[in-house]
Amino acid sequence: MKITAINTFFSRETHRNLIFIEVLTDAGISGIGEAYSVGPDDAVPAVAKQFESWLLGKDPRNIEECWQTMYNFSRFPGGLIMMSVLSGIDIALWDIAGKAAGVPVWALLGGKCRNRIRTYGEVYGNTPEEAAGYAAKIVERYGFTAVKCFPLFGSPDIPLFNRRVRAAEEKMRAVREALGPDVDIAADAHAALASPFEAVELATVLAPYRPLFLEEPLRPENRDALAEVRRKITVPIATGEMLYSKWEFRELLSREAADIVQPDICIAGGITEMKKIAALSESFNVPVAPHNPMGPVATAANVHLCAAIANFFILEYLPDDTPERRDIVDEPVPFRDGWLEIPDKPGLGIELRKEGLRESMKGGWSRPFRYHPDGTPSYI
């Protein structure tokens, strides 16, 4: 079996493109993967075609060889565009390998460690009342046992730190009161804080509401600063969506800067590298909660990975019941009462419906936006 072509497809969601990569073979077996929408999305097809020229004629089942070719043939490996394309192709190769062997991807990864995948939903709203109402709605509708809110979004007087922190506490309190003591609530600072002391203050006021974790209290470039915050707070720190490859996660883990890591399968290096990042994290006793804001193919890839790693914690999940998500695949991964089921079909168990793709957004998402109570964004 040999690789004969690599194609890229876009579909527009509310505020970003979903980017799918298809790998074709001379055996009539094709695989589908998903790349991260990093902003300058127009560069993705060009990089995919460059990688195609390196992979033509290779056996797609030699996934490690293909991964190393894409990574090491690049003059300066890494970077968001290169890693997102590499990740999408890697996912597609695993899809092909599973289909060729007649088994689901999780079986190729060593088998299942669990029979279903716990998820959390995202809570939107600019005021405490909006966030609490939204949280209650999605828990009732989808059966989530955990949610994540964005306590700094929509807060007034952004330069006034004390008022901003008070607003964040009010939002967290409202969500906790709406959901009761048993639903887990994570908080995402979205890397919006500039210094460790601000992150410590935010964690301190959120701590009484028992956050599942505080995500990205700081940007990830300075691991030592993040480690300083972790030493001073009791709330678990989660981070990693902006990191690529096992090498960047090694720096994070060796500095003991995170309690939970959140690699994204669409940019960290695909299934191949995510399995290695999970094993590395396991050696530090750190669980994995994959970042997963992209499309239904990414969700399927994550489900197979999460089924097969021992230190899985929880998976971010955007329900696939909206038309822009449901219409682009033949059948999304089944989701019931806050849990995703693990497919038994060969490969990823999901196929792209090209006729359901929507016109893409030129350039990708690059403008800031704010969320309304119904979860829809408006650009500012």
The catalytic position among 15, 190, 304, 372 is 190
DSSP labels, 170-201: HHHHHHHHHH-SSSEEEEE-TT---SHHHHHH
Eight-class DSSP state of 354: G
Confidence of residue 365 (pLDDT cuts 50, 70, 90): low
Buried/exposed code over 178-212 (b: 16+ C-beta within 10 A; e: otherwise)? bbeeebbbbbbbebbbeebebbbbbbebbeebebb
The DSSP H or E segment spanning 300 is helix 296-308
| Residue 291 among the catalytic residues | yes
pLDDT value of residue 155? 63
Q: Tell me the mean pLDDT in the region 11-38.
A: 95
Does residue 368 surpass a pLDDT of 80?
A: no
Confidence of residue 256 (pLDDT cuts 50, 70, 90): very high
Q: Tell me the mean pLDDT in the region 132-144.
A: 98
pLDDT value of residue 81? 94
Eight-class DSSP state of 291: B
pLDDT value of residue 369? 45
Q: Tell me the mean pLDDT in the region 138-161.
A: 86
> Rounded CA gap, 141 and 287, in Å?
28
Q: Which residues have CB under 8 Å from 305's CB, separation 6+?
A: 106, 109, 265, 271, 274, 275, 278, 290
Q: Tell me the mean pLDDT in the region 121-137.
A: 96
Does residue 26 surpass a pLDDT of 60?
A: yes
| Residue 372 among the catalytic residues | no
pLDDT value of residue 158? 59
pTM > 0.75: yes or no: yes
pLDDT value of residue 159? 63
* Least confident residue range of 143-157, 294-308, 358-372: 358-372
Q: Tell me the mean pLDDT in the region 325-339.
A: 96
- Over the stretch 336-349, which tens digit does the pLDDT of each residue have? 999 999 999 999 99
107-347: which CATH topology? TIM Barrel (3.20.20)
Longest dimension (CA), the chain: 62
Confidence of residue 164 (pLDDT cuts 50, 70, 90): confident
Does residue 371 surpass a pLDDT of 70?
A: no
3-104: which CATH topology? Enolase-like; domain 1 (3.30.390)
- Triad 326, 327, 332: Cα angle to 5°: 40
> Rounded CA gap, 212 and 90, in Å?
31
- Over the stretch 166-211, which tens digit does the pLDDT of each residue have? 999 999 999 999 999 999 999 999 998 889 999 999 999 999 999 9
Domain assignments of the chain as residue spans, ordered by start: 3-104, 107-347
Confidence of residue 154 (pLDDT cuts 50, 70, 90): confident
Q: Which residue has the higher pLDDT, 374 or 115?
A: 115
Residue 230 near residue 258, CB atoms below 8 Å: yes
What are the distances in angstroms from CA 266 to CA 31, 105, 132, 182? 15, 16, 31, 32
Tokens of 21: 């990569």
